[in-house]
Each structure stands twice: as structure tokens, then as C-alpha cells.
Amino acid sequence: MTLRNSILLLLAIPALTFVWGLHNEFVDWDDPGLITENPIAQGLTVENLKTAFTSYDPELYVPLTFVSYQVDYAIGGLSPFIYHFHNLLLHLINVLLVAWLIWLLTKNPVTALLCGLLFAVHPVNAETVLWASARKDLLSSTWFFAAIIAWLYARDRRSLPLYIFSIIACVLGLAAKVMVMTLPAVLLLILWRDQRKITIKNIGWLMPFVALSIAFGIIALLGKQAFVANASIQETALLAGKAVMFLLLKFFVPIRLSVLYPYTDPITFGSWDLTVSLFGAILITIFAFVSVRRWNRDMLFGWLWFLICLSPTFLLYRRGEHLGDFYFTSNRYFYAAGIGLMFPVSLLAASWMKKATWRMPVIAISTGVIGIFAVMSGLQSLVWENTQTLFENVLQFYPNSQIAHVTIGNHDQTLGDLENAFAHYDAALKIRPTSLAYFNLGNALLTLNRADEAIEANMRALKLNPALAIAEVNLGVGYVKKKMFTEAAEAFRRALVLDPNSREAAFNLKAVEDHKP
């Protein structure tokens, strides 16, 4: 197949696969906080640019991602189509970059084409393409791949301009998402695979990337201090093993995909699935090291790529702790890491195609797998159509996900369907009482002017999470409805102590203080 036809194939198949998602709505899962209700993302202005580079999202430092949203807003306002189209465009660029990278590593066009196509349509990658809030993963991956490619050319040609470009690409990738901090380890891994000597000079070439990764890593830690401070070695190791084996299984059998993967059992060695997963990951790692002596370095290279790119996510399992859920992994973490699994599989398939006996069966199987994966990814567009479809999909596979019930209830409340909203809040509270569930229940009760019940719900929310400023605000609103203005003012003041930037608390406090009985 010619280069032109290969490029057309690499672009056409994912474009046709994900075109159905271009008309999807925003979803009530990070999209409001990052895009639709985020003033930083709404307008390409000097002030917004300054704020993008001096703030978190609220946990991640992603200024370049904010700038990309500002560009989208400048083009089409809050039209979801623009944001989804931008995501798809980035994914198509990444498909080409992955194929190019694999060609540089193997000099085998068949391996590059197979790996590029597998990356293009793998169902686990669908979330990253279809979710507007996953822009940071797409954009950081673009610069991650570009940095590696430029570095490979710079290394082989001793080109200073290309080396400088690879450093700039690293900076841009880190500014999109700090996950690019794994780049120095990946470059060192490539040196090892290519059987290059790990000399002082080679290490020196990597030092700018190391320094940048450390700097951005420190910035990232400032936004995730609570996660790191509360993490334990046992929990981290067990859930890391679970994440590795879970995503490995999803690579081969990408079914029952969900935006949430909650873990609700005790995180101890007594939970057999965690223990088996951890030891399974260890055994595969040992086997990959042993394979170097018996075969070649490619299996270990791919496995270590997978582990290295996943490693920054191993501390993120406490993201939902205040909601009562731990999430051991996410599909989008697979996006760049999954190449480590696709690489040896593509190499193996390409080597079998060279044998006359195996050529046609392998071509048929490869074509079938790519086609099936493309259909499965296309069907994921229906899952991501809106908030309702997204979280109904979660409940289909994880019915004990209380945050899914809360999110659907909140969405129903926004649409004015309070009956369904109450049903989902009740379901969430039966699974596990959380501050968010009580707060949203109280919010719905305020809508119906059931002030006494709303006050009780918000007080329960505050008992579970005393730092929930918005619950103090709603508590104050409940007191206002009962004409208990002294209590209302106290609640609004407490809210301002918790969140000095709360405009709602400040406005309501002034209104109460100005009130003349």
C-alpha cells in the first residue's frame, strides 16, 4: 500500500467512526466546570489567557487546554459541535503521529499501519475522543508524540533545531496535562530498545526533559495535595494492580465500558480481586523481562511503556472519596499508555503476514478486528449523546454507583423533572449517604418551597462535609424562606468563610442585612 493510501485510510476510518458524536451534547461530568460554566474558557482575551496560566482546573494545571477551549468559544460560543469537532481533529492528528512514531521505531510500514488503525478505533479510546472534557488528554498526547518523533530525528541526525523543537513540544504537552512528565522515562526506554549505550552524553540530552517534568510535577502536586497526602502505599499498590490488569483486559475485550469504574469493597489484601490483580501484574512484568533473553526486547518495551504512561494515574483513585466512591482507573488513561500494548501485537501480526501460509488469515483477522472495534467505538457515540445516556450506561454495569444516581437526578432537576430527580437521590442515599446527594436533594426541595425538609437535607450534607460552602448557602436560603433572617445571615457568613469568592453567598448576605422587617 502506498504512503498516500495509508494516510487516507488512517484518516478516513476514525473520521467515519466518530463522526456520529459531533452532534452530541455537553455532559454534566466535568463539562460544566471546565467549559460551559467556566469563565476562563469563554473568550480569547488577555485576562482569560492570564488566568488560564495562573490557576488550576481546579486540581490540574492545564493552561494550554484552557486556551484551546477559548479558541473554540471564539469560533462557535458554547456550541458543542465545535468542541467535539476539535477533539476529533486532534485524534486524527494523533493517529498519524502514532503511525509515524511506530514506523520510526520499526521501519516497518505494515506494523505502523496496523498500530495506527488499532489506536484510531479502539473502543477504550472512544471516551477520550467523544468527551469534550478529555481535551487535555488529546492535546497533551499530540505534543507527547510530537516530542518523541522530533527527538528521534534529532538523535539520529544530530539536529539542534529538531532537539529544541522536541523540548518546546514537551513544554506544550506539559501545559496541556502533566501526564507528559513520563516523557524522559519513555525516551530512556527507547534508547534501551534501540540498544543504544546509556552514556553521560545521552543522559545529558534527556536532562531538559527531566527538569521540565519535575517543575510541572511540582506545580501539579500543589493542586493535588489532598490526594497525595491521603494516599497509602497499600491502597496505591493494590488499586494500581487493579488498574493495570483491568485495562489490559479491556485492551483485548473492550466491553462493559463506563465513564466511571468505582471500587466499593475494602481496599485490603483480603479483597481477592485486588490481590490477584497485583500479583498478575507482577508476574507479567517478570515474564516480560525474561522474554528479552528468549526472544527480543519488544514485549518488555511495550509492557514498560504501558506501565510508565499509566504510573501518574496510580494516585488518582481518591478522586471520588468525598462522594463515597473510589475510582481505580478511567478509559482516557489508556489513550497514550495503550500504545505499549498495541505495539507488540501489531509487530506480531506484521511478522505473520510475511509468511505465505499465515498471510491471508492474519489479514482477514486484522481487518475483522479493526472493523468490529470501529463499530463498537461508533456505538460509544450513542452512550455519550447526553448526560442521561452516559450515566444510565454507568448504572447498567455499576448499579451501586451512587454518584451516577446523583448526576442523573441533578440533570432531571435541571430539566424540571423533580419526580425522577427525587427517585435518583433516594436511590443514591440508600446506596451510601453522601454530602452531594443530600445537597442536591435539599436543592430540589427548595424548588418546591419545602423549606423545613430542605434545611434538614443541607444540615445532613454539612454534617458529612463541613467544608461544603454551597450547602451553607442553600441552608441560608431555606432560613430566608422561613423568614429566619438571623439564622440565614449566619449561614451565609459561614459560606463566605469556606469560600470567600462565593458571589451567591455575598449577594444573599447583603440582601438579608438590607432587609427591613
CA angle (475, 481, 482) in 5-degree steps: 95
- pLDDT at 226 > cutoff 90: no
- Residue 248 has, within 13 A of its CA and on its CB side, a CA count of 18
Q: How confident is the model at residue 431 (pLDDT cuts 50, 70, 90)?
A: confident
Cβ-contact 91, 77 below 8 angstroms: no
The grid coordinates listed for 92 are 486524527
Residues 430 and 304: their CA atoms lie apart, in Å, by 42
- Higher-pLDDT residue of 147 and 401 is 147
Identify the pLDDT of residue 462: 92
Cβ-contact 462, 450 below 8 angstroms: no
Cβ-contact 386, 24 below 8 angstroms: yes
Sign of CA dihedral 284, 286, 292, 294: negative
How far is CA 211 from each of CA 23, 171, 215, 304, rounded to the nearest angstrom?
42, 11, 6, 22
Residues 165 and 160: their CA atoms lie apart, in Å, by 9
Identify the pLDDT of residue 318: 61
- Residue 336 has, within 13 A of its CA and on its CB side, a CA count of 32
| pTM tops 0.85, yes or no | yes
Beta strands in 191-279 (DSSP E): 262-263
Q: What is the pLDDT of residues 152-166, one digit of tens each?
A: 999 989 899 999 999
Give domain limits for the chain: 3-389, 399-513
The grid coordinates listed for 238 are 493494590
Beta strands in 207-347 (DSSP E): 262-263, 326-327
Q: Counting every residue, how long is the chain?
A: 517
Cβ-contact 141, 182 below 8 angstroms: no
Identify the pLDDT of residue 82: 97
Q: What is the pLDDT of residues 458-479, one digit of tens each?
A: 999 999 889 899 999 999 999 9
What are the helix (H) ranges across 253-338?
Answer: 272-294, 298-310, 334-337
Q: What is the pLDDT of residues 379-414, one digit of tens each?
A: 999 999 999 999 999 999 998 888 899 999 988 988
Q: How confident is the model at residue 319 (pLDDT cuts 50, 70, 90)?
A: low
Identify the pLDDT of residue 109: 95
Per CATH, the number for 399-513 is 1.25.40.10
Identify the pLDDT of residue 321: 44
Nearest to 380 by CA among 17, 4, 11, 9: 17
Q: What is the pLDDT of residues 23-49, one digit of tens each?
A: 999 999 999 999 999 999 998 899 999
Q: How confident is the model at residue 423 (pLDDT cuts 50, 70, 90)?
A: very high
Kindly tell me the number of DSSP H helices and DSSP E strands found in the chain. 26, 2
